[in-house]
Structures are given as structure tokens and as C-alpha cells.
């Protein structure tokens, strides 16, 4: 593709400018992806040198260390205690003791079972007292996977702490040699509310995120590689085991028996993207439009209009959306009123219980989402529009610009520049907008062509609601849900990366301070 300089670009006609921008946008996508992989490669390279450096450092620390340092390699914290840093030393020692105790009592078992996910399943065994066969439960695959992952986390934490302990000893030894005073336990505690206050503040939130977000995500990624489902729940009916890439093949391959899944996935993904596009941009432009109308000079009762619209934010969605979905039901108020007024002869099937009527429900969810979404955008746009300097409009009017020109040349560019990142996040969160779809249609009408795929997919189902449907019921295919979850992540990540790399307003966060 030919690149123009700024001057050449200005000479182009309007259409040429537009095509040039469009082409250069798409041309930059491969570069952005390339940069992404280059970033990963650089990261790996950096990681390699860091790890090498760490090992070299550990080696020299041991070689040059005195007995206090060397003994700490085996018994953590010994060196610190010997040097008078009792609090630190005791904490290290305690951690090591807990770790060893845990690994011997239970941790070792979980790790050793991880490759097989359990050997003895539930089975019938002869019971002499009852004189009959009873079910005896064996290993628990679910717990093995869960605690296996936790144990691996714990081992990683131990390695990190051990390394910290070695580093501490090295520094302390150098301090001793130079004759400087070491930090006492009281100093350590004081620094936790001062220099290292961030550690105190972050400890609890990060612990919560680690246990309730990171660990479950790691677990669910692993589940995608097993056959964990309603009939292999790991304890009560059967063990589950590793399945490799089989589930991904079922979901994505275009040949053989997996055909239904890949076709369904394609269909649902397409609708998800269409939905996210319309849900984001209809709200964006209509919300901006409403904000401009209310802000216009000479319009009275500004506050009252805003308050009325904001009602949809104030009232919990499950009430408003569920109620609206019943209003548009075949026997609901809307149909009733239209029939009473004689505008229609028979009730309109807004939610399309029959398969041939998939378009209307899709349009309906987008339209009702406008009802929910406009108020947010109105609030946001109001705040931003007020920040546009009034003299810009003033001078453009003197130059003879009309309202439309003012909008396209001043308002819109300003809005787009400021809210670029917001548009991206709102696009991705619309892709995962469970509430609107589930409460309005529940994903219906049912897509008959996809009936042999798990979870009875419907025409308004997003990937996220499909995922939810798969995880409910007795035949829940948790592994398929995990596969969908991972694919959603991939789609969101790719979109975010590409958009972030071509967005003009990636700003330096320090600029604001």
C-alpha cells in the first residue's frame, strides 16, 4: 500500500481520503498482530534472561555467603534471626514449616493424583454387615483438580519466598560488611504504613482476586481439557479425566461429527458481534443526540427530562426487563392495546416462538436495549459536551457553519476522541451482556438446526447465554462451557488489541497528574 505524506493526503478528494483511511486501518491490523506476537517473543526472551540472572545470583550468593547466609538456603530465616532481624526470620521459618507440613500431609497426594485425576471411581462393593452390595466412593476428581491447582500456586509462592529469603540474606550480608545498621522488626512494621503502604493496601484485595478470580479461571481453563460434565461429576457417578484438545476439535472442526458445534458456534458468534455492534452504536449516537437536545439553549426543564430518562438506571434491571418482556408477550399489554385500538388484527409474536420468525426478536432486543442504554450515554455525553469550549461553536458560526457541520466537525470528533476507549469497553461488555438477553428472551426462539448441540441454542442467544445454558441441567457439559468461555476471551482479546493499537487516544496516564 502506498503511504502518503501529510501534504499529499490533504490534496486528496474526500472519497479518496476516506478510502485511504479505511485501507490504512485494515493494513495496520496485521502490523498490530505482528507487534503483539513480537511482544510475546520479547517477553519470553526477557523472561529467559531474568531466570538465568536469578540462578547466577543465587549461585554467587551461596559462594560468597558466610555461614548465616548459607544455612538460610536450607532453613529459611535462620540468617535473619542470627543477624538480629527476628521478626522477618520467624516469618520465613514459619512459612517453611507450614509448607513442609502441608506438602507431607495432603499437598503431595493432590500433586501425585493430578496427572490421572483420580484412579478409583465410585463402585459397588460387598458389605458384610449389610450382606449386600453398596456403593463405595473413591477419589474425587473435582477436588484433585482444584487442590492440585491450589498446591501448584502454593509451591510457586514457596519458591518466590525462598528466593526472597536468599536475596534478603545477600543484602544483609553486604550491609554487615559495610557496617550499616539493619532494619529492625519495628522498622519493618513502620514501613508498612509508610514507604510500603501499598503492600498493606493491596494485600486483601489481591488475595480475594487470587482466590476468587484467578484460581477459578485457571481451573476452568483446565476443565476445557477434561471430560467433566453432568455424567462425569468426578465423585458421585464417575471420575473425569484429561481429554486433551478433543473438546476444542469438537467445537471448531468443520468435518466429521463436530459439524453441528462449529456451525452453531459460527452462527452464535456472528449474532453476538452484530448485537454488540448495534447495541453499542445505537446507544452511543442516540444517547449523544438526546444529550444535545436537552442541552440546547432555550429548552426548559432540563433536569426533569434527565430524571425521567435516568429511571431505567435507577430501577433494577431484572424488574424493568422482565416486565417489558411480559408487556410484549403475545397476551401482553402492547398486543392488547394494539388490538383494542384496531391497529392490528391478530397478536404480533414479538418474541417469535416459531423458528421462521428470528428477525423480529433480534430487532426487539436491540430496540429495548436502547431504552435501557440511552440514559447512560446521555449522562456521559452531557458531561463531555459541556467541556467543549463554547467559543469553538461561536467562531464556527461566524464562519458560516450550520448545525450539521458543527456536529460533524466539532462535536463528533471531540466525543469520539475522548470516548474511544469507552466505546471499546462498551463493545466488549455488550458481547457479554447476559442480563438483557436472558431476561428479555432467554435466548429464544429455539434454533432447531442447532438442536443436537448442547444447551438448546436460540436465535437471540449470545455466546455468554449459550455458555450459561450449557452449564445448567443434568446433562451439563462443563467442558464445552469452558471451551466457549476461552473462545470468548480470545475474541475479546483480539478485538481489544487491534482497536487499542489503532486508536488515536491512547494517552499517557501521567499526563493527567
User: Site residues for another protein, window 271-310 (CB under 8 A)?
Assistant: 290, 293-294, 296, 298-299, 305, 307-310
Q: Is 401 in the site for another protein (CB under 8 A)?
A: no
- Residue 227's nearest CA partner among 117, 96, 337 is 117
The stretch among 9-17, 89-97, 118-126, 313-321 that binds another protein (CB under 8 A) is 313-321
Least Cβ distance, residue 101 to another protein (angstroms): 22
* Minimum separation from the CB atom of position 166 to another protein (A): 18
Residue 124 φ/ψ, nearest 5 degrees: -85, 135
Q: How far is CA 99 from CA 58, 204, 248, 331, 492, in A?
A: 21, 21, 37, 64, 38
d(CA 372, CA 195): 46
Query: 95, 242, 376, 407: which one contacts another protein (CB under 8 A)?
Result: 376
* The three cell numbers locating residue 468: 450459561
- Please report, for the chain, how many H helices and E strands are present, in that order: 22, 2
Give min distance, CB of 220 to another protein, in A. Answer: 5
In the complex with another protein, which residue's Cβ is closer, 87 or 329? 329
DSSP state of 233: -
Sign of CA dihedral 350, 351, 353, 359: positive
Which member of 71, 396, 435, 501 binds another protein (CB under 8 A)?
435
Pattern 177-206, another protein, x by CB under 8 A: ----------------xxx-xx-xxx-xxx
Say whether 135 sits in a helix, a strand or coil. Answer: strand
CA distance 481 to 463: 10
Query: Per the omega criterion (within 30 degrees of 0), is the bond before 445 cis?
Result: yes
For position 420 contacting another protein by CB under 8 A, the verdict is: yes
Site size for another protein, by CB under 8 A? 96
Strand positions, DSSP E, 378-461: none
- Binding status of residue 384 toward another protein by CB under 8 A: yes
State the minimum distance, in angstroms, from the CB of residue 460 to another protein: 17
Tell me how far apart the alpha carbons of residues 458 and 481 are, in angstroms, rounded to a whole number.
16
**Interface residues for another protein in 120-149 (CB under 8 A)?**
142, 146
Rounded Cα distance, 437 and 460, in Å: 7
* Contact of 102 with 113, CB cutoff 8 Å: no
Nearer to another protein, 307 or 395 (CB): 307
- Pick 85 or 471: Cβ nearer another protein: 471
Contact between residue 505 and residue 243 where contact means Cβ atoms under 8 Å apart: no
Point out which span in 1-9, 124-132, 275-283, 332-340 binds another protein (CB under 8 A): 332-340
- In the complex with another protein, which residue's Cβ is closer, 76 or 324? 324
User: Phi and psi (nearest 5°) for 232?
Assistant: -125, 75
Q: Does residue 367 bind another protein (CB under 8 A)?
A: no
DSSP-based three-state secondary structure for 159: helix
Q: Where are the alpha helices (DSSP H) in 296-341?
A: 302-314, 317-327, 333-340
Considering the complex, what minimum distance in angstroms separates the CB of residue 137 from another protein?
Answer: 15
Least distance in Å: CB of 385 to another protein? 10
**Residues pairing with 458 in the sheet:** 446
The CB-of-412 to another protein minimum distance in angstroms stands at 16
213 near another protein (CB under 8 A): yes
DSSP per residue over 440-493, as a string?
A: HTTTPSB-GGGTTSTT--BTT--HHHHHHHHTSSTT--HHHHHHHHHHHHHHHH
CA distance 234 to 216: 17
Q: Closest approach of Cβ 198 to another protein, in Å?
A: 4
Window 454 to 493, contacts with another protein (CB under 8 A): 463-464, 467-468, 471, 478, 481-482, 485, 488-489, 492-493
Least gap, CB of 158 to another protein (angstroms): 19
Q: Of 60 and 307, which has the nearer Cβ to another protein? A: 307
Comparing CB distances to another protein, the nearer of 20 and 242 is: 242
> Which one of 18, 133, 245, 318 is in contact with another protein (CB under 8 A)?
318
Ramachandran angles phi, psi of 229, nearest 5°: -150, -170
Q: Which of residues 106-125 bind another protein (CB under 8 A)?
A: none
Taking the complex as a whole, the smallest distance from the CB of residue 310 to another protein amounts, in Å, to 7
**Applying CB under 8 A, does 40 fall inside the site for another protein?**
no
Pick out residues in 438-457 that bind another protein (CB under 8 A): 438-439
Residue labelled with grid coordinates 443436537: 452
Q: Do 91 and 76 form a contact (C-beta atoms < 8 A)?
A: no
- Rounded to a whole number of angstroms, the minimum distance from the CB of residue 379 to another protein is 5
Of residues 172 and 487, the one with the C-beta less far from another protein: 487
90 or 491, CB closer to another protein? 491
* In the complex, least distance from residue 483 CB atom to another protein, rounded to whole angstroms: 10
Please, which residues bridge with residue 136 across strands? 123
Q: How far is the CB of 18 from another protein (least distance, A)?
A: 26
Residue choice 33, 182, 243, 379 for contact with another protein (CB under 8 A): 379
Nearer to another protein (CB atom), residue 24 or residue 496: 496
Q: How is residue 488 written as a grid cell?
A: 470468548
Of 88, 231, 258, residue with least CA distance to 80: 88
The one segment of 152-160, 172-180, 259-267, 413-421 that binds another protein by CB under 8 A: 413-421
Q: 90, 327, 401, 416: which one contacts another protein (CB under 8 A)?
A: 327
Cell numbers for 131, please give them: 450382606
CA-based nearest residue to 32, from 513, 497, 510: 497
Amino acid at each position: 500500500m502506498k503511504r502518503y505524506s501529510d501534504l499529499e493526503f490533504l490534496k486528496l478528494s474526500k472519497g479518496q481520503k476516506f478510502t485511504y483511511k479505511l485501507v490504512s486501518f485494515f493494513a495496520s491490523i496485521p502490523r498490530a498482530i505482528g507487534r503483539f506476537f513480537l511482544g510475546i517473543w520479547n517477553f519470553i526472551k526477557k523472561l529467559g534472561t531474568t531466570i538465568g540472572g536469578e540462578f547466577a545470583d543465587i549461585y554467587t550468593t551461596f559462594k560468597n555467603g558466610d555461614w548465616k547466609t548459607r544455612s538460610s538456603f536450607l532453613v529459611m530465616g535462620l540468617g535473619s534471626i542470627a543477624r538480629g532481624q527476628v521478626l522477618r526470620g520467624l516469618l520465613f521459618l514459619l512459612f517453611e514449616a507450614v509448607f513442609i507440613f502441608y506438602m507431607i500431609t495432603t499437598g503431595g497426594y493432590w500433586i501425585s493424583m493430578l496427572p490421572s485425576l483420580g484412579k478409583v471411581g465410585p463402585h459397588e462393593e460387598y458389605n458384610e454387615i449389610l450382606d449386600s452390595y453398596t456403593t463405595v466412593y473413591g477419589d474425587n476428581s473435582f477436588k484433585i483438580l482444584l487442590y492440585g491447582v491450589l498446591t501448584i500456586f502454593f509451591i510457586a509462592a514457596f519458591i518466590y519466598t525462598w528466593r526472597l529469603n536468599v536475596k534478603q540474606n545477600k543484602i544483609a550480608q553486604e550491609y554487615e560488611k559495610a557496617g550499616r545498621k539493619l532494619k529492625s522488626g519495628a522498622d519493618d512494621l513502620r514501613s508498612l504504613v509508610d514507604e510500603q503502604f501499598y503492600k498493606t493496601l493491596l494485600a486483601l484485595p489481591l488475595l480475594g482476586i487470587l482466590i476468587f478470580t484467578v484460581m477459578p479461571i485457571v481451573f476452568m481453563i483446565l476443565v476445557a481439557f477434561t471430560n467433566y460434565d453432568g455424567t462425569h461429576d468426578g465423585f458421585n457417578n464417575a471420575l473425569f479425566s484429561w481429554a486433551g484438545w478433543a473438546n476444542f476439535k469438537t467445537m471448531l472442526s468443520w468435518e466429521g461429527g463436530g459439524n453441528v458445534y462449529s456451525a452453531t458456534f459460527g452462527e452464535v458468534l456472528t449474532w453476538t458481534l452484530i448485537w454488540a455492534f448495534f447495541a453499542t452504536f445505537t446507544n452511543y449516537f442516540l444517547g449523544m443526540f438526546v444529550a444535545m437536545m436537552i442541552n440546547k439553549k432555550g429548552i426548559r426543564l432540563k433536569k426533569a427530562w434527565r430524571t425521567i430518562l435516568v429511571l431505567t438506571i435507577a430501577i433494577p434491571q431484572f424488574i424493568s426487563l422482565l416486565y417489558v418482556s411480559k408487556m410484549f408477550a403475545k397476551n401482553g399489554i402492547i398486543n392488547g392495546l394494539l388490538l383494542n385500538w384496531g391497529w392490528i388484527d391478530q397478536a404480533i409474536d414479538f418474541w417469535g416462538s416459531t423458528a421462521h420468525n428470528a428477525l423480529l426478536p433480534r430487532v426487539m432486543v436491540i430496540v429495548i436495549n436502547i431504552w435501557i442504554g440511552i440514559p447512560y450515554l446521555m449522562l456521559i455525553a452531557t458531561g463531555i459536551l459541556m467541556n467543549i469550549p463554547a467559543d469553538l461553536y461561536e467562531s464556527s458560526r461566524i464562519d458560516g457553519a450550520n448545525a450539521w457541520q458543527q456536529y460533524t466537525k466539532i462535536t463528533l470528533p471531540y466525543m469520539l476522541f475522548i470516548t474511544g476507549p469507552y466505546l471499546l469497553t462498551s463493545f466488549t461488555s455488550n458481547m457479554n451482556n447476559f442480563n438483557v438477553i436472558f431476561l428479555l428472551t432467554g435466548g429464544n426462539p429455539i434454533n432447531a438446526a442447532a438442536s443436537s448441540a448442547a444447551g438448546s441454542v436460540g436465535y437471540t442467544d449470545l455466546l455468554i447465554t449459550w455458555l450459561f445454558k450449557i452449564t445448567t441441567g443434568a446433562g451439563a457439559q462443563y467442558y464445552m462451557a469452558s471451551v466457549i468461555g476461552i473462545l470468548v476471551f480470545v475474541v475479546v482479546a483480539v478485538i481489544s488489541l487491534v482497536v487499542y493499537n489503532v486508536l488515536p487516544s491512547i494517552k499517557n496516564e501521567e499526563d493527567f497528574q
